[in-house]
């Protein structure tokens, strides 16, 4: 299958999480190695590349991370620059408007403005990744892209995890890729397991 590489995000010290989309059916895929591990940081899978891949679905997927596949073989085909047009032509859903619309409006928000899903509220979106056209510019500050809510008592922000050089401001109406980190809870904490939102990248 032809797979378009859509994102690379930092994972740990020596790995990256690589996301893609099958061009024939717009299936989201998270491309793990044949052993079911994240790709090494020096992987040749780069955003904008199209690869011919054979993969198998992982059996240990946990909602909403339903995209995990193990790559059995891969062959580089070509590179494209117009990723935005390919995504729009695929008719994959794109959230539009305020940040509260992302992930089917099913996120909860911390007081500091970080979106998350919780095991206490198992009403999860269909996918842990998606695309968003923000109605406002996002401003980078201390590793987070901040969304202007217009309310001094309400904050909204997305942690930037992409490997590309960040922009100081992502203009409004830019196509943005967002994702959910894996389930996690702090050690020795009474806090429940959560997965938090992050910004994977954008397309110009």
- C-alpha span between 2 and 5 (Å, rounded): 10
Distances in Å between the alpha carbon of 164 and those of 56, 159, 167, 172?
28, 14, 9, 19
What is the tens place of the pLDDT at every residue in 162-186?
Answer: 999 999 999 999 999 999 999 999 8
Q: CA-based angle 29:201:162, to the nearest 5?
A: 90
Tokens standing for 171?
Answer: 């203009």
Q: What is the full per-residue pLDDT of the chain (204 aa) written as tens digits?
A: 999 999 999 998 899 999 999 999 999 999 999 999 999 999 999 999 999 999 999 988 899 999 999 999 999 999 999 999 999 999 999 999 999 999 999 999 999 999 999 999 999 999 999 999 999 999 999 999 999 999 999 999 999 999 999 999 999 999 999 999 999 998 888 899 999 999 999 998
Report the top-level CATH class of 2-85.
mainly beta
101: three-class secondary structure by DSSP: helix
Q: Which residues pair with 15 in a beta bridge?
A: 11, 40
**Residue 194 to residues 120, 147, 187: CA-CA distances in angstroms?**
9, 21, 13
Which token pair is 109? 């928000």
- Over the stretch 79-112, which tens digit does the pLDDT of each residue have? 999 999 999 999 999 999 999 999 999 999 999 9
pLDDT of residue 204: 85
- Angle (CA) 124-128-130 rounded to 5° is 115
Count of other CB atoms within 10 angstroms of residue 171: 12
Total-model pTM: 0.94
Tell me where in the chain the CATH 2.40.50 domain(s) lie: 2-85
Who contacts 190 (Cβ-Cβ below 8 Å, separation ≥6)?
none
Q: Is 204 helix (H, G, I), strand (E, B) or coil?
A: coil
Closest Cα to residue 52, out of 32, 77, 20?
A: 77
């Amino acid at each position: 299958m032809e797979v378009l590489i859509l994102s690379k995000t930092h994972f740990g010290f020596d790995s990256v999480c690589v996301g893609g989309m099958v061009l024939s059916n717009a299936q989201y895929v998270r491309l793990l190695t044949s052993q079911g591990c994240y790709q090494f940081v020096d992987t040749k899978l780069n955003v904008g590349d199209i690869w011919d891949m054979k993969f198998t679905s992982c059996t240990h997927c946990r909602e909403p991370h339903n995209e995990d596949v193990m790559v059995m073989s891969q062959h580089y085909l070509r590179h494209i620059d117009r990723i935005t047009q390919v995504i729009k032509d695929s008719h994959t859903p794109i959230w539009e408007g305020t940040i509260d619309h992302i992930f089917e409006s099913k996120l909860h928000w911390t007081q500091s403005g970080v979106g998350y899903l919780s095991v206490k509220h198992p009403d999860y979106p269909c996918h842990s990744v998606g695309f968003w056209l923000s109605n406002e510019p996002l401003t980078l500050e201390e590793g987070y892209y901040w969304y202007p809510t217009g309310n001094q008592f309400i904050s909204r922000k997305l942690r930037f995890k992409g490997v590309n050089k960040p922009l100081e401001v992502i203009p409004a109406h830019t196509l943005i890729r967002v994702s959910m980190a894996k389930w996690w809870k702090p050690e020795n904490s009474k806090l429940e397991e959560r997965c938090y939102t992050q910004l994977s990248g954008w397309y110009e």
